[in-house]
């Protein structure tokens, strides 16, 4: 029998579920925050003009709301390819809405990876996103889909929503 593993999604894994799963539950990571600090050379941008996508950043007083999926190990062949542009797998403890906890695999793009862009003002990030496009589509779609998915989860993510507001003001 294959052992199931929890996977935590905090970006496109919330709304673009192109992998099989056994169970899906809303969950949170304490001590982490979502930031548009990772470049995307392969999905929402190109090597010459990368887009911006989210990664996790340690932040002691923060909470990152996302979606947990119970998956079988064979799913990671697909996900490792999908999350290849600077992301590595880490195991982090998550908490479900009922208070129970479990270890989960999460993809994190840490500073120093080849695609890391780092912090910037929300307005500058929005301008960057407004002009980026890659094989998976416009970078703005990623931001807008993520913002909508976070609203559906009841997550008030100021960073994402501030960038969304700036992007919409530019249109």
| Of 41, 3, 38, the residue nearest 22 (C-alpha) | 3
- 83 catalytic? Reply is yes
Paired with 25 in beta bridges are 68
- ∠ CA 69-74-78, nearest 5°, is 80
| 3-state SS class at 68 | strand
Nearest to 54 by CA among 66, 69, 70, 68: 66
Q: 23, 83, 93, 122: which one is catalytic? A: 83
Residues that are catalytic:
83
């Amino acid at each position: 029998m294959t052992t199931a593993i929890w996977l935590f999604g905090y970006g496109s894994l919330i709304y673009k579920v192109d992998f099989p799963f056994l169970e899906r539950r809303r969950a949170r990571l304490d001590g982490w925050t979502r930031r548009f600090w990772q470049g995307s050379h392969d999905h929402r941008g190109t090597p010459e003009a990368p887009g911006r996508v989210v990664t996790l950043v340690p932040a002691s007083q923060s909470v990152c709301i996302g979606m947990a999926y119970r998956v079988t190990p064979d799913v990671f062949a697909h996900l490792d390819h999908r999350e290849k542009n600077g992301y590595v797998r880490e195991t982090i403890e998550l908490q479900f809405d009922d208070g129970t906890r479990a270890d989960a695999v999460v993809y994190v793009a840490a500073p120093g990876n080849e695609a890391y862009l780092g912090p910037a003002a929300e307005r500058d990030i929005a301008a960057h996103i407004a002009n980026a496009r890659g094989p998976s589509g416009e970078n703005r779609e990623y931001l807008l889909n993520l913002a909508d998915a976070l609203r559906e989860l009841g997550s008030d993510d100021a960073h994402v929503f501030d960038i969304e507001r700036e992007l919409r003001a530019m249109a």
